[in-house]
Structures are given as structure tokens and as C-alpha cells.
Amino acid sequence: MTTKLDWEGRVGRSWAHEWRRTDRSFGGLTDQLLGKASARGVRKALDVGCGAGELSMAMARGHSTAEVVGIDISPELIDVARERAGYLPNLDFELGDAANWSRPGFAPDLIMSRHGVMFFEQPVEAFAHLANISAPDVRLVFSCFRSFEENAWAERVVGCLPAGSFVEPNRFAPGPFAFADEAHVRGILSDAGWSEIAFEPIDYAFVAGTGEDALGDALDYFQSIGPAARAAASLAPDEKARFIGNLGRYLRNNEEGGIIALRAAAWIVTAKASAS
């Protein structure tokens, strides 16, 4: 389980440090998510779990008359986002928890998120709050991973760990794969007051490493970010060496032309507030 305290602490610091490689890994998904979010005019957009700000920045650039706000609970990620986007006058970043955040005079007609909504401890209450602070015609557009099994890269990376070192969390506990089950997510959104809920499966290339030493790049990345990072950090030196060896063999088999790209599977979920 990935908790709010994790994002406010170690996990947030890791993602802030790795924002360039993280943005790269989600590049193929970001373009499709942005296309869905931009399918209609936007007046005010809220980016939930904005991280280092890539989606917020793209929305602000593409909709220069819109007011865009990105929120995240990690101080380090908000610092990075603000540093990156200081030149965009219609974009603001704020430290906050989307489950209870609001801003006077700001009622978004678009709520968007790139893999940022699977960490709510009380998801029904959080999505209900977001509907309540929004404009009557608000749209919800977010991405999340599909199942662990459909993301073979995640299974393989975890499988490189020594037996017993990875404890699989409750499938619905807050974390990267908490929204994999369509029926579960549909129930959350419906209970929270959202309707016209739709799921589009998206397969994209998860770019883990590039350049002259793509393998070293990917190995370093997966020891900082990803499903095995926490477990790998606590391994004894000999166990870690075996993990890196196993992971290296898997990643090397997926390298082509200086790029290590792994097939990833996500949902793009859309909905509207029931009141609309």
C-alpha cells in the first residue's frame, strides 16, 4: 500500500528526483490522455496528483485562456513543478490533498489526472468532494494502470526479487494498481455522484531506458521508481546483486536501438457529474 505519508516523504522525494525519466516513461500515455482532456473547451482545469507538472503544463500551453491548477501532496514535487512552469501565466501549483482541497472562486469544468487518483484512502469521499467543488458541467478524465497481470513488465520486475521479499498488497489498497478493476472503479465513481462513466483500454510503450547505456539507465530507474524499488532498497548486498543481475537480463532482452521500452496497459476513465 502506498500511503499519503509515503508521498509526503520518501516516495515523493524519489519521484521529484526522477521526474525526467518518469515523464519519459509515461510519454505515450500522456499524449492520449491530453487528447481526451482537450476534447472540449476548458475554462478551469484541476490536475489531481499533478506530480512534477507535465500534464498541467501541456494543458496550460494548449489552452492559453484557461486557468489551470495542479495540486499534489508532495512538497518536493510541487517545488519541481513550480520551477519548470514559472513562465506560464495561466498555471499555478499548490500543495494540497485533493480529498479536501478547494480554492475560493475556482470551480473546475475539467478534473484530470495522470495516474494520480489511485492513492485516495477514502476514494468515494474524495471523488464526491471533487464533484462538489466543481462546475455543473465538469468532466473527469484520468488514467490508471490496468491489472498487474496485463502489465507484464511489472510482474517481471517484481519477479526478479528474491522469493518472499515482495508482499503483494490488497488489490484495492491505495497504490499504483488499486484502480485496475473496472467494476470496482465504476462503483466508486457512481457512489461518489459521477455518471456516464466510460473506460478505454490503452496500451503504450513504457520507456524505461534510453541512450548509449540504456540498460544502466533502466536499472537505475527501477531501483528508484516502480513496483520493486522499496523491496530492492532493503536487500542484503548479495541479494541485491542477484536482483540486479536478473533484472538486467530481462531488460536487455527488451532493448532495441538504444531504447528499452516495455508494453504497459492502462485505462483512460471519463465521467461527468450526475448533476449535469
Provide the whole-model pTM: 0.93
Note whether residue 91 is domain-resident. yes
- Grid cell in block for residue 196: 456516464
Supply the CATH number for residue 172's domain. Answer: 3.40.50.150
Note whether residue 214 is domain-resident. no
Range of the domain at 71: 4-207+264-273
Strands 44-48 and 110-114: parallel
Distance CA 105, CA 108 (A): 10
Phi and psi angles of residue 123, each rounded to the nearest 5 degrees, phi first: -65, -35
From residue 110, give the alpha-carbon distance in Å to each of 43, 104, 157. Answer: 8, 16, 35
From residue 250, give the alpha-carbon distance in Å to each of 55, 146, 157, 253. Answer: 30, 22, 8, 5
Task: Encode pLDDT of 218-264 as tens digits.
Answer: 999 999 988 888 889 899 999 999 999 999 999 999 999 999 999 99
In a 3-state reduction of DSSP, which class is residue 261? Answer: strand
Burial class (CB in 10 A: 0-12, 13-18, 19+), 203: middle
Question: What does the pLDDT read at residue 5?
Answer: 58
Note whether residue 228 is domain-resident. no
Task: Encode pLDDT of 128-147 as tens digits.
Answer: 999 999 999 999 999 999 99
Question: What does the pLDDT read at residue 276?
Answer: 45
Note whether residue 112 is domain-resident. yes
Note whether residue 256 is domain-resident. no
Asked if 273 and 138 count as a contact pair (C-beta separation under 8 A), the reply is yes
Distance CA 173, CA 185 (A): 12
Note whether residue 218 is domain-resident. no
Residue type, 226: G
Q: Which residues of the chain have pLDDT under 70?
A: 1-9, 12, 167, 169, 275-276
From residue 276, give the alpha-carbon distance in Å to each of 104, 107, 130, 136, 270. Answer: 21, 14, 14, 5, 14
Q: How many domains does the chain have?
A: 1
Note whether residue 233 is domain-resident. no
Note whether residue 247 is domain-resident. no
